[in-house]
Amino acid sequence: MDFSVKGKCVIFSAPSGAGKTTIVHHLLAQNIGLEFSVSACSRDPRPNEIDGKDYYFLGVEKFKYKIKEDAFVEWEEVYKDNFYGTLKSEVERIWRNGNSVIFDVDVIGGLNLKKIFDENALAVFVEPPSVEELENRLRGRSTETEDKITQRLAKAREEISFSDQFDSILINDTLDTACAEAEVLVKKFLHTT
């Protein structure tokens, strides 16, 4: 992959509901030289989500057009007509700002990014303490239908099987502990050459 600028990347992946987004927000608040890579997606925004801040909400047709344009570092069709991806322009913008990129992406996207950025990336898998606890967290959100929860749990079991392909596994049993451990991992990676 050809980029006009190069820098470091930190990748956080997890099954839905494992807490990766909360951990990423914690890291961003620490002012350690990270800038969030806003992913693109084809779905509609959820309540309180803002285009360009939470995601670039492209819709299915525009997302497919961007694929044809080769505008993505990586992309995936997570569910039928439900696409997520990382825009090349977003990564280059962050590196030009002199920051390292932090990604909050699904598991397959995280592995794809790790392959692309290789030694310039730290890939962290955030794992829930158990699938039962993950189910409790998903139900506690009250944002998903019963079918979606069942679908997400099945996908989570599959995604957990990929955890050993990441540089580090972070068990999110207690959020404060997980955030502190993430901070140590990321600072160590950012300060090595």
CA–CA distance, 167 with 121 (Å, rounded to integer): 9
pLDDT at 108 exceeding the cut of 80: yes
- Cβ(75)–Cβ(67) below 8 Å: yes
Helix axes 146-160, 131-141, angle to 10 degrees: 150
Phi and psi of 131, rounded to 5°?
Answer: -65, -35
- pTM of the full structure: 0.85
Residue 77 lies in a domain: no
Parallel, antiparallel, or unpaired for β 121-127 and 168-171? parallel
Residue 16: per-residue pLDDT: 79
Residue 164 lies in a domain: yes
Residue 4: per-residue pLDDT: 67
**Structural domain range at position 19:** 9-40+94-190
Q: How many domains, in total, are found in the chain?
A: 1
Signed CA dihedral, 184, 141, 107, 172: sign only: positive
